[in-house]
Amino acid sequence: MRSLYTEPSLERPAAVIAATADSLPAHSGALERARAFAEPLIASEVLDTGENILAHADAVAAILRQIGGSEAMQAACYLVYACDHLHKPHEVISKAFGDSFADLAVQTTKLVQLQRMARVAQNAATRTNAPMAQTSATQTESVRKMLLAFSRDLRVVMLRLASRMQTLRFYAASKQPVPPGLAQESLQVFAPLANRLGIWEIKWEMEDLSFRFLEPQTYKEVAHLLEEKRVEREASVEALRQELAQELERHGIHAKVQGRPKHIYSIVKKMRGKSLAFDKVFDVRALRIVVPSVPDCYAALSYVHALYTPITSEFDDYIAKPKANGYQSLHTVVRDTAGRPIEVQLRTQAMHDYAEHGVAAHWAYKEAGAKGYAGVSATGAYEAKIAVLRQLLAWERDLASSQESHPGEVVLDDRIYVLTPDAAIVELPQGATPVDFAYSVHTNLGHRCRGARVDGAMVPLQTRLQSGQTVEVVAAKEGGPSRDWLNPELGYLASHRARAKVRAWFNALAMEETMAKGREAVEKLLQREGKTAIKLDDLAAQLGFSDANALFEVVGKDEYSLRNIETLLRPVETPVSDDQLVLRKARSSGGNGKGGVLVVGVDSLMTQLAKCCKPAPPDLISGFVTRGRGVSVHRADCPNLRNMVQRSADRLVDVEWGVPSGARGAAVYPVDVSVQAVDRQGLLRDISEVFAKEKMNVIGVQTQSIKGVAWMTFTVEVSDSSRLPKVLSQVLELRGVQTARRR
């Protein structure tokens, strides 16, 4: 079967392509000079596709020439490929060709490098078994963002379109296997961009080639169907062409009537989109009529409809209502005398030029000056550039449908696109800094940001980033943001999102301090009431709070009275008469056992150490006669004892520490030690080692960490509580410890 793919040979438009107001200056012989400059550098080099670089540059220049590119634009493509082989490309090219050529070459080279890095990152993701659809979508989005980032200089976009077109042609001619990512990227990014810019000859060819590489079997099937009746179809189209040309000439309309190329991808899209069989696709047989003026378009349409039977549902007037990319034509489908459908397009020569070459048909160089160039005034050139910018914005909205559109705004300058060291694309607002970048990557990285490298060089954190730069954050292992970052005059942050994250961090810090204050107040109250064994979450639930932190928050803000907790902890008791008091014998005779407590003036009474204050010798102590549990021994300064004495002073009895016949240090007593510290790895181990060094046995530990602050309670056995201050001073010297005290 004869191949249906051939390089198009289309008419050259009269107008000249220009991609930006700061366009390339006209240098005499620039094309020859640029090629001669680049040839020694690239003649023996190859691209990663295997194509010779000089041959690739020649082909790109030819493509630019086909779509109306100026000689200066063609010259620039050689300088782009020379950049990789120059030590200081901008400086060298600027001296030889001028700053404008140097800027274009370096910017385009930068875009090529970024795309290559992104593709390497995609391949790495594929090797890690990431879903193909996910990595492909990520790559497509990355390339789209990069093209938009560099689209301020539209020459860069045109050079990339032409280069990608040549790459696809090379794969088609060499019959090498095409990387699926490259074909997908061409179909989903570059072809829609060419479409949005109206460069149809690149769009159609790029779509067909990409589809051929992605779905070779479907491509061959449709190609076979087209080839099957090619001779018969071409004969019928030629007969219709001659008949229409004669009819229009007879009515005084000077028209150019020609057959229209068949594009396999568009046929397949129509078959799939409308669930049509191949024989129901109307534009397999198609004609194009080019006339001098718009009135001639409508006049020719009336003669076509008079000559053949129109299919009214297939008529579109894109002259009265142009497409979003500026395309204008009349489209109609008619049936010939044999009943076979044929699509007819009618347009003026200007519409045809735009349809074939899009923005290339009316862009103009600044070098044209006030008098204009190729029929386009300087004012018209500016308006054309604005129109193109609008098309790029519309293209962005087409590919990122989730993003809200802003009709009527030309705001390509409000975003920048930079890369991580792993070639991931990060989108930031214009004026963004390395701190904005860090917060965009991860909130925690933003909090710990302390410095940054841009393209390998250390820069201040207030540095304004630019599209295409690679940014690496230097971060501390722990820590938080600086309050200076919230000062707009210092210029650390441009992103509202990053600024909100910094504020949230300081709000959380203030909340931690509030909760710590509330926790301390609640714990002191529980100590006074002798209720330290109560679980804090259970206490909060009884008071109607979701958890202990919610209770601490309102107490710390002074929005909740501690009297509510006191009321819960002190239920109303029925008075008991004195004759109901039951005193049992102590377990050790005389209360003078090993490390025991003596009740002055009373013998054989059971005694117990109060759990609220956990006394230990040589603490000053007092006894309180309880209901059914003997004498409870408290430290003399215990708040719970003071409260009980206020209610029942007659139950207070004098007690003292019993002195055994042996060494006093033989008996040990449990005491509680409270520690507050910055939470870190190894904290519990370090504190336990201090107690072990001082030969104090730790028999219980309770810990809780709230947003980086550790609250710890150690129960240790001591024979002499006077040793505790020395031990606690050693605990305070440990890294991160804020307070250490006996409870």
Percent of the chain residues past pLDDT 90, beyond the cut: 15
Place of tokens 């179909």: 187
- State how far the Cα of 488 lies from the Cα of 268, in Å rounded to an integer: 55
Nearest alpha-carbon partner for 713 in 702, 723, 724: 702
Does the pLDDT of residue 450 top 50, yes or no? yes
- pLDDT for res 168: 93
CB 8 within 8 A of CB 63: no
The number of CA neighbours under 13 Å toward the Cβ of 384 is 28
The reported pLDDT for the residue numbered 4 is 37
> What pLDDT shows up at residue 438?
93
Q: What is the pLDDT of residues 351-407, one digit of tens each?
A: 887 776 554 443 333 323 333 333 333 344 344 444 444 455 444 445 444 334 333
Closest CA to 488 of 480, 476, 496: 496
**H or E stretch including 429?**
strand 425-429
User: What is the CATH code of the structural domain delimited by 227-359?
Assistant: 3.30.460.10
The token pair at 391 is: 């098309």
The CB density around residue 475, as the number of other CB atoms within 10 Å, is: 18
Can you tell me the distance from the alpha carbon of 503 to that of 432, in angstroms, rounded to the nearest whole number? 18
Q: Between 292 and 666, where is the model more confident? A: 292
- pLDDT tens-digit series, residues 505-530: 988 888 888 888 989 888 888 888 77
Residue 414 to residues 393, 438, 467, Cα–Cα distance (Å): 12, 19, 11
Q: What torsion, rounded to 10 degrees, do the Cα atoms 266, 271, 274, 279 define?
A: 120
pLDDT of 704 higher than 90:
no
E strand or H helix that includes residue 516: helix 496-529
- What is the DSSP code string of 38-106? HHHHHTT-B-TTS-BHHHHHHHHHHHHHHTTB-HHHHHHHHHHHHGGG-SSHHHHHHHHH-HHHHHHHH
Residue range 665-742 in CATH 3.20.20.370: no
How far does the chain reach from its first CA to its final CA, in angstroms? 94
Stronger pLDDT, 206 or 273, i.e. the higher one: 206
pLDDT at 230 over 70: no
pLDDT at 566 over 60: yes
Q: Mean pLDDT, to the nearest integer, of 346-351?
A: 89
Q: What is the mean pLDDT of residues 108-115?
A: 75
**Residue in 55, 54, 60 with CA at minimum distance from that of residue 40:** 54
Contact indicator for 599, 623 with CB cutoff of 8 Å: yes
Q: Binning pLDDT at 50, 70 and 90, where does residue 136 land?
A: low
Strand 737-742 with 669-678, pairing: antiparallel
Q: What are phi and psi of 676, to 5 degrees?
A: -115, 130
Helix (DSSP H) and strand (DSSP E) numbers for the chain: 25, 21
Query: In which region does residue 177 sit, left (phi positive, over 0), alpha (psi from -120 to 50) or beta (all else)?
Result: beta
Mean pLDDT of the chain: 76
Rounded (to 5) percent helix, strand, coil in the chain = 50, 15, 35
Sign of CA pseudo-dihedral 351, 357, 363, 364: negative
* Radius of gyration over every alpha carbon of the chain, rounded to an integer in angstroms: 43
The DSSP code for 459 is E
Q: Are 255 and 248 in contact (CB under 8 A)?
A: yes
Higher pLDDT, 168 or 102: 168
Q: Are 14 and 63 in contact (CB under 8 A)?
A: no
More confident residue, 64 or 629: 64
Q: Mapping DSSP to helix (H, G, I), strand (E, B) and coil, where does residue 432 land? A: coil
143 burial level (CB within 10 Å; 0-12, 13-18, 19+)? buried
Q: What class does CATH assign to 414-494?
A: alpha beta
Per-residue model confidence (pLDDT) at position 375:
35
Residues 347 and 251 sit within 8 Å (Cβ to Cβ): no
Whether 558 has a pLDDT exceeding 50, the answer reads: yes
Question: Which pLDDT score, from 0 to 100, does residue 151 have?
Answer: 54
Same fold flag, 227-359 and 414-494: no
* Range 392-418 burial, b when 16+ CB lie within 10 A, else e: bbebbbbbeeeeeeeeeeeebeebbbb
* pLDDT tens for each residue of 567-603: 777 754 444 444 443 333 333 333 333 346 776 656 5
Domain 30-212 = CATH 1.10.3210.10: yes
As a whole number of angstroms, the distance between CA 550 and CA 539 comes to: 11
- The domain locations on the chain are 30-212, 227-359, 414-494, 505-569, 597-658, 665-742
Q: For helices 89-97 and 71-82, give the axis angle rounded to 10 degrees.
A: 150
Find tokens 């995609």 and name the residue.
Answer: 122
Q: Going by C-beta distance under 8 Å and a sequence separation of 6 or more, which residues neighbour residue 528?
A: 612, 639, 640, 643
Q: Which two tokens stand for residue 102?
A: 């140097």
Indicate the range of 16-20, 181-185, 431-435 predicted with least confidence. 16-20
